[in-house]
């Protein structure tokens, strides 16, 4: 069986890494049906810090194919990915296309594969924020509507898929591959010297500091929202160091709205996007994390670090009910109240959501190996005919 694994943007790399590794282990076991992996990078993220550094640190193989689509409006980026990926599917004839997460590359490749009658598996299916103004929510819903195999991180996601009419036999509750990667690399991350580099140690002990990440259009494309967040961060930075690894689009917007000066006057440490291990070490020792990212809410839950999500909603409600997460939106006063709440959370007990145990990729590969054994995906005479007629 041949699987095309799609990665495009930063949050995809740590989700695909454990799956590829478990497939390699599976292939080395005698008597197993070999699963061939083809790694396709769409090139949605292309800077060293947003892409290649993750391949190096996570031990990901070099992509077999890089579509080099780069940045663009949603329609342009999606169209470029679809056009280039269609050729890949026609040429490589994978039995299954595996997509992860909710970025434009996820949706674009799922649609392309499906229209060529190629089976699609979606890892991290069923997450819903209920907010259709988020590009990721559109990507999630479209992808799940057409995926043949929906791998979910929790029971809430299963229920969401059920409500949308996805039959039970397409849903597989496997746990969280992003947490597989976190647990694999936590020990190695301790060797990172990022705390020393940023002056965040007092002797042997980490100082109390906050980590901030921001990139959602709803926060960074709206000058009023971005200003309010910057004001809250500046106020917070009077009491504890604030470290802000800055996403390229956020850096552009801060400059465009003339806000960079406000937060780089010494109170906040802005850095380039960090590598996986440095960022993990930084988060693991933080007093709190302020973020609008999806995955970081989950990582904070497992690390037991209070997390303030700078959004009105989350597609990962389990991080609120069971984890350390609180939604604070983007208004200055509410963020500051959240920071006071986070200060009081130090030392809270960590409760780990079901199956966030480092074995999600194993469960996924078990399902895939079952498909390989059964030959279920190779019976598609129609698929072959469609590919030939389109090609």
Residues that bind ligand UD1 (CB under 6 A): 9-11, 44-47, 50, 71, 77, 102-104, 135-136, 215, 247-249, 252, 293
| Smallest separation, CB 270 to ligand UD1 (Å) | 15
| Active-site entry in 41, 215, 247, 285 | 215
Give the nearer residue to ligand UD1 in terms of CB position, either 24 or 56. Answer: 56
Nearest approach in angstroms of CB 293 to ligand UD1 is 6
Which helix (H) or strand (E) is 145 found in, with range?
A: helix 135-146
At a CB cut-off of 8 Å and minimum separation 6, what does 266 contact?
none
Is residue 313 within 8 Å of residue 130, measured between CB atoms? yes
1 vs 177, beta carbon nearer ligand UD1: 177
Question: Based on CB atoms, which residue is closest to ligand UD1, 206 or 248?
Answer: 248
Distance in angstroms (rounded) separating the CA atoms of residues 184 and 250: 30
| Residue 311 DSSP code | S
Identify which of residues 9 and 40 has a Cβ nearer to ligand UD1 in the complex. 9
CB 55 within 8 A of CB 62: yes
Structure tokens at 233: 């961060």
Taking CA atoms, 293 is separated from 275, 307, 315, 372, 377, in Å, by 16, 11, 11, 35, 35
CA 160 to CA 165: how far, in whole Å? Answer: 9
User: Between 11 and 94, whose beta carbon lies closer to ligand UD1?
Assistant: 11
215 among known catalytic residues: yes
CB of 336 to ligand UD1, least distance (A): 25
Of residues 96, 113, 144, the one with CA closest to residue 376: 96
**267 close to 234: Cβ distance less than 8 angstroms:** yes
Quote the least distance from Cβ 292 to ligand UD1, whole Å.
Answer: 9
CB of 181 to ligand UD1, least distance (A): 15
So which residues are the catalytic ones?
215
């Amino acid at each position: 069986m041949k699987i095309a694994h799609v990665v495009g943007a930063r949050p995809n790399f740590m989700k695909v890494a454990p799956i590829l590794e478990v497939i390699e282990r599976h292939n080395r076991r005698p008597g197993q049906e070999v699963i061939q992996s083809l790694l396709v990078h769409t090139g949605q993220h292309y800077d060293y810090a947003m892409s290649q550094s993750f391949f190096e640190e996570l031990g990901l193989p070099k992509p077999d194919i890089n579509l080099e689509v780069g940045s663009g409006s949603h329609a342009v980026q999606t169209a470029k990915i679809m056009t280039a990926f269609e050729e890949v599917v026609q040429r490589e004839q994978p039995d299954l296309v595996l997509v992860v997460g909710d970025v434009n590359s996820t949706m674009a490749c799922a649609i392309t594969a499906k229209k060529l009658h190629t089976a699609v598996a979606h890892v991290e299916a069923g997450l819903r924020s209920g907010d259709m103004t988020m590009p990721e929510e559109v990507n999630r819903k479209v992808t799940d509507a057409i995926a043949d195999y929906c791998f979910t991180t929790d029971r809430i996601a299963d229920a969401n898929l059920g409500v949308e009419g996805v039959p039970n036999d397409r849903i597989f509750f496997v746990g969280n591959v992003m947490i597989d990667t976190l647990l694999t690399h936590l020990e190695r991350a301790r060797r990172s010297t990022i705390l020393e580099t940023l002056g965040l140690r007092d002797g042997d002990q980490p100082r109390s500091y906050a980590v901030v990440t921001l990139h959602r259009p709803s926060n960074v494309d709206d000058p009023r929202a971005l200003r309010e967040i910057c004001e809250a961060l500046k106020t917070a930075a009077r009491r504890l160091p604030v470290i802000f690894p800055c996403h390229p689009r956020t850096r552009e917007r801060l400059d465009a709205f003339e806000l960079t000066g406000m937060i780089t006057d010494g109170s906040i440490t802005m850095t380039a996007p960090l590598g996986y291990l440095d960022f993990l070490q930084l988060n693991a020792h933080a007093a709190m994390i302020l973020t609008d990212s999806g995955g970081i809410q989950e990582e904070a839950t497992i690390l037991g670090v209070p997390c303030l999500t700078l959004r009105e909603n989350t597609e990962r409600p389990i991080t609120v009910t069971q984890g350390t997460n609180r939604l604070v939106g983007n208004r200055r006063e509410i963020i500051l109240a959240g920071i006071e709440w986070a200060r009081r959370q130090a030392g809270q007990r960590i409760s780990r959501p079901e199956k966030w145990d480092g074995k999600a990729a194993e469960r996924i590969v078990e399902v895939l190996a079952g498909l390989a054994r059964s030959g279920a995906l190779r019976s598609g005479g129609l698929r072959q005919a469609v590919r030939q007629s389109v090609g």
